[in-house]
Amino acid sequence: MHRTIVNVILLVGLFFGLIVLASGMSEWRLPDNQQGYAPQQPIAYSHRLHAGELGIDCQFCHTAAEHGRHAGIPSTDVCMKCHKYVTSSFDVLQQEIKLADEKKRKPETVISTELQALYDTLGLDDPKQPIPDDAKSIPWVRVHNLPDYVYFDHRAHVAAGVTCQKCHGPVESMERVRQFESLSMGWCVNCHREATEDGINGHAVKASTDCATCHY
């Protein structure tokens, strides 16, 4: 009798243990593999909205991708190019204008929560003010991390005609950016092999698989 109870308890424990293990397995990755990493950002910037819906070119903001190793996170004044005026979503702004029209008053500035966060970081009371000298930068959380001994150069890939999506995935459909690919060495090397074999967009490229291409 006693033994049976113990056995039942053990069985139930095993069952739940397996469930936990199975759910863990679904997220199981090799160590250092950050695929799927999508950290919360200080400002919920939507790539889906900007790059997808509005169709802004990647390099409009990430200007350095063409010229430098790092694609670069746009400086805050790039945001302010538009968001000096665009303080909230179009619908809300339209509504406010309509409302103001109805009430026969000047439309008020409506600021969305996310943009308020942007202005707060910059220390702006009013988006139309110039950016103060002691403005802080936004502490974006880096999504795509490569180990320190890997030297990836955006320049080379942009010059070769590799699309951003090849490595970063469909960013234009991501609300919050996540690491789409594994970014493992094998993944890099395979792409280099394929590119050398098949070329990129029809033109031949030499994507070396020498160690020193990335490690030095």
Enumerate binding residues for another protein (CB under 8 A). 30, 32-34, 37, 39, 64, 66-70, 72-78, 122, 131, 133, 135-142, 145, 147-151, 153, 155-156, 158-160, 182, 184-190, 193, 206, 208-213, 215-216
- Judged by beta carbon, residue 107 or residue 166, the one nearer another protein is 166
Smallest distance from another protein to CB 210, Å: 4
Least distance to another protein, CB of residue 205, Å = 9
Residues 6+ apart with CB under 8 A from 67: 155
Rounded CA-CA distance 10/115 in Å is 54
Q: Which is nearer to another protein, 101 or 120 (CB)?
A: 120
Minimum distance, C-beta of residue 215 to another protein, in the bound complex (Å) = 5
Residue (90 or 216) nearer to another protein, CB: 216
Q: Among residues 34 and 88, whose Cβ is nearest to another protein?
A: 34
> Is the CB of 53 or the CB of 66 nearer to another protein?
66
Shortest separation between residue 58's beta carbon and another protein, angstroms: 15
Q: How far is the CB of 114 from another protein (least distance, A)?
A: 17
Q: Shortest gap between Cβ of 9 and another protein (angstroms)?
A: 26
CA gap 120, 126 in Å, rounded: 10
Contacts of 34 (CB under 8 A, 6+ apart): 145, 179, 183
Long-range Cβ contacts of 39-44 (<8 Å, 24+ apart): 39/141, 39/143, 40/141, 40/176, 41/140, 41/141, 41/176, 41/177, 42/117, 42/121, 42/138, 42/139, 42/140, 42/141, 43/114, 43/117, 43/118, 43/121, 43/138, 44/114, 44/175, 44/176
Closer by beta carbon to another protein, 63 or else 89:
63
**3-state DSSP call for residue 119?**
helix
Q: How far apart are CA 166 and CA 169, in angstroms?
A: 6
Cα maximum dimension of the chain = 84
